[in-house]
Structure 1
Amino acid sequence: MTVIAQISDIHVRPKGRLYQDRIDSNAMFARAIVALNGLETVPDFVLITGDLTDEGSPAEYAMVRELLAPLRVPYALMPGNHDDRVQLREAFGDHPWLPREGELDFGVDIGSIRLLALDSTVPGFHHGELSAASLQWLEHELAASEDKRIMIAMHHPPFSTGIPYLDLYGLANVDALADILSRHANVDRIVAGHVHRSMQGRLGAVPVLTCPSTTTQIAARFKPDADPASYLEPPAYLLHRWGEGKGSGVSHLCYIETFDGPLPFA
């Protein structure tokens, strides 16, 4: 069995500062770490799918490292549109998965799963786009791993959400990714963040799942003139689990907060 926990959009701030001047995102991320450490089935790996910080500052990345220190399992970080590649490299330069130049694409073997992380960020902008170099890297990695189940991770999900103010900042070149996937049958799923909600979709034959934020959740407002809004809905993470054989992969939405129970239902 292979288990990967995914958290996303943690928006860490410098010590003593609040996210959007009203939410203690650092404390909420710390609670997420406690929740992951307390799981009955210990994950093999933890993946954070971007927006590690809110402004990409050195003080924020130092705080990310401090808050991650209690985590008891291996982890990897990916950039989001609120991150800064240069500062992320400097803060986590001792991590072997981190490329030393160019986009922050990397691959990691975790049990029976090959994780391929794609850097979808565009420096200075909030929308996503996969560079020609990243797409070429993905094609090569998929061809070299035809005997493995692949999970692709990216910050920007490769679908339209139907929420107008979110789709302004979506992934620009979805078709290029879909074209590559059409030539490889070993991609089990795509996971993403960015949208601060749990969503499910598809890109061709491949399921796409988004992870909620550990901070605020973006409102599901679908009217064309809808104003952006967020709520303090329960923060959550995804737990991806694979057993042996086909059809054994499943992803669970898990809430970070504690609730009453277990209840004595027959």
Structure 2
Amino acid sequence: MLVRSAGRVALVDTGPLPEPLGACLDTLGIGRIDLLVLSHFDLDHVGGTEAVIGRVDRAIVGPASDAADDRLLADLAAGGAVVERVSRGDSGVLGELRFTVLWPRARLGTVEPGNDASVALEFAGAGDCASGCLGSLFLGDLGEQSQALMLAAGPVSPVDVVKVSHHGSADQLPRLYERASATVGLIGVGADNDYGHPTDELLDLLAGVGTTVWRTDTDGLILVSPAAADEGVRVWSER
């Protein structure tokens, strides 16, 4: 998933393979990544990172779990990226947007590296763009329990766009999606995957809270932007 604002680019996860990511960036005319977010270190979220090594200014990550994760971060750093481990409350600026990390907690406790320690963050318009930019929420692969802990740690603001957690699995907290009340829900998911993602349960949940689903397995490349005259969200897909 890519976020663009005032000429700045954030990339949230890199997918399983470098070639599709490289092709996507070429299609969109993106040469440089100002902010790379690696939500966690499962292969389907970091396997494509090779495509952007040497092209990243700053990378923010959650807890690494083994030597392979550490090597990936060392490769990013060797390519010129400033690599930072982040936790709830960390923030920064991307163009006219401010991003805030909502998860994981600084003290993970019993939460092990992996899905439930995913970096979750929100983007919101700042300054003159406070009402004219899209707000978005990225949930990594957080499951229901971690979503509940994140929500208990502080409020989640309504957003225009939510990146649905864990490719549309059924392991979701309905209350979180109610609070987000997103207009658009984006699901990054492989066609004909073996997990049955996105599940009917998840799709029913999003429909119930008024979130319209767009998904990569059926819609391909999806572009989202503010509609004219602050009249909601405009969506285009290649299919």
TM-score (norm 2): 0.51
Greater helix share, structure number: 2
Q: 1:212 to 1:30 in 2, by over 3 A?
A: same
2:167 aligned with 1:189, yes or no?
no
Are the structure 2 counterparts of residues 76 and 30 from structure 1 closer, same or farther at C-alpha, using a change threshold of 3 Å?
Answer: farther
5+ residue gaps, structure 2, are 106-110, 202-215
Match of 1:155 among 125, 133, 140: 140
2:138·2:163 contact (CA, 8 Å) conserved in 1? Answer: yes
The root-mean-square deviation of aligned C-alpha atoms, in Å, is 5.4
Q: Is 1:10 equivalent to 2:15 in the alignment?
A: yes
* 1:211 equivalenced with 2:197 (yes/no): no
Q: Which amino acid aligns with 2:116?
A: H
TM-score normalised by length of structure 1: 0.47
Give the residue type in structure 2 aligned to 1:180: P
**2:231 counterpart of 1:247:** yes
The structure with the larger Rg is: 1
RCO higher in structure (CA 8 A, sep ≥6): 1
Compared CA separation, residues 36 and 215, structure 1 to 2 (3 A): farther
Identity, % of aligned pairs? 12
Q: How does 1:1-266 map to 2 (within 5 A)?
A: 2=5, 8=13, 10-11=15-16, 26=17, 29-39=18-28, 50-51=39-40, 53-54=42-43, 64-69=48-53, 79=61, 84=65, 87=70, 89-93=73-77, 94-96=80-82, 98-99=83-84, 101-103=85-87, 105-110=90-95, 112-120=96-104, 122-124=111-113, 126-128=115-117, 145=126, 148=130, 149=133, 150-156=135-141, 171-176=147-152, 180-181=155-156, 188-189=159-160, 191-192=162-163, 194-197=165-168, 202-204=177-179, 206-207=181-182, 209-213=185-189, 217=193, 218-219=195-196, 220-221=198-199, 233=217, 236=220, 238-242=222-226, 245-252=229-236
Give the secondary structure class of the aligned counterpart of 1:196: helix
User: How many residues get paired?
Assistant: 198
